Amino acid sequence: DSSVSKLQSLNGVFAVYKKQGPTSADVLNALKEALLKEAGVRNPNPRKRKKQSLKMGHGGTLDSAASGVLVVGVGNGTKMLSRMLTGSKKYVAVGELGKATDTLDATGSVVLESSFEHISSRDMEEKLKTFTGDIMQVPPLYSALKKDGQRLSVLLKKGQQVEAKPARQVSVYRLSLQDFNPPLFTLDIECGGGFYVRSLVDDLGKALSSCAHVKQLIRTKQGPFTLQDHVLHEDQWTLEHVLRVLQPCPEGGLEGGPEPGSEEGPDGRSEDRQPDPSEETGPVVGT
């Protein structure tokens, strides 16, 4: 069928809007299903490899509780995703002071409550300076990082003891306080690959002699794609719209380099880190 072969001949990257709730993998499957259905494939099962297959992957998972820009590669575009992971990303995060959770976001259970009345917006702005630049950060326990080939988040859910991964260097290019209305505060963040917003908010709460967790997280930019100008919303998941926004693969082959890892935890748990080859399962690519 010509519509299906048109889909299968697509090579490049584009961005879709991920809403709060589904995992990044769920979003990818829904996108694939919408495109195959439009092409006239009856009962497309995006997880099955068939002649009607469509090679797609995403670069830089968003937690299920997060929303915003999700970059998608199609065809040979899946090989370009690793470059997307290394580029800068922008987030708007709403944090809540006075409560810490086991997952460091609102999906988890509250494990600590402490007072926050002593914290002023000036205190927070001063403290944010110490989290700007190249900083050391310990990834969250609930993450897609692995121990002995198993995801930490999966091990935790099985009730196993899990040790924190060692701190790693991450880059924070810009960090500013947009709104301070205790217990809530809003941060604007621009960071490099491997950075966890959940860890930042948790560390910030501790640094202010209190505690905090992420209440809401929106990725507003990933690589060249912005939330305002480039994402396809669910009602635009059609071949026509994809063709309009697709950034084609560069001519003359693709640069090598590692492909993005499968960045999913209990519910797609990773804001978006650059995978370590030692702990990843290969690209998030399916057909």
pLDDT tens, 19-45?
Answer: 999 999 999 999 999 999 999 887 776
Gap between the Cα atoms of 240 and 13, Å rounded? 15
Q: How many domains does the chain have?
A: 1
256 within some domain: no
Q: How far, in whole angstroms, is CA 61 from its chain's centroid?
A: 3
Q: Which residues pair with 110 in a beta bridge?
A: 101
Q: Which two tokens stand for residue 111?
A: 């494990």
Over residues 155-195, the pLDDT tens digits come to 777 888 878 889 999 999 999 999 999 999 999 999 998 89
Residues in Cβ contact with 192 at an 8 Å cutoff, skipping those fewer than 6 apart: 86, 88, 89, 170, 171, 172, 173, 274
Confirm whether 265 is domain-assigned.
Answer: no
> What's phi and psi for 52, nearest 5 deg?
-85, 20
Nearest 5°: the CA angle 40, 46, 48 is 110
User: Count of residues for the chain?
Assistant: 287
* Residue type at position 185: F
How far apart CA 36 and CA 40 sit, in angstroms, is 7
Q: For 230, phi and psi rounded to 5 degrees?
A: -120, -10
CA gap 192, 36 in Å, rounded: 34
The pLDDT, as a whole number, for residue 52 is 55
Query: Which domain does 154 fall in, by range?
Result: 96-181+192-219
- Compute how many other C-beta atoms are within 10 angstroms of the C-beta atom of residue 102: 16
Q: In one letter, which amino acid is 267?
A: D
Q: Which of 104, 265, 258 is nearest to 193 (CA)?
A: 258
For residue 207, being part of any structural domain is answered with yes
Does a structural domain hold residue 17?
A: no
Reported as a single tens digit per residue, the pLDDT across 198-257 is 999 999 999 999 999 999 999 999 999 999 999 999 999 999 999 999 999 876 444 443
Catalytic residue among 26, 63, 179, 272: 63
Is 63 one of the catalytic residues?
Answer: yes
Residue 262 scores a pLDDT above 90: no
37 occurs within a structural domain: no
Residue 286 lies in a domain: no
CA distance 269 to 64: 7
How many whole angstroms separate alpha carbon 119 and alpha carbon 96? Answer: 12
Residue 200 located in a structural domain = yes
CATH number for position 167 = 3.30.2350.10
What letter represents residue 234's amino acid?
E
Does position 56 have pLDDT exceeding 80, yes or no?
Answer: yes
In a domain, 140, yes or no: yes
| Residue 2's pLDDT band (cuts 50, 70, 90) | confident
Percent of the chain with pLDDT over 70: 83
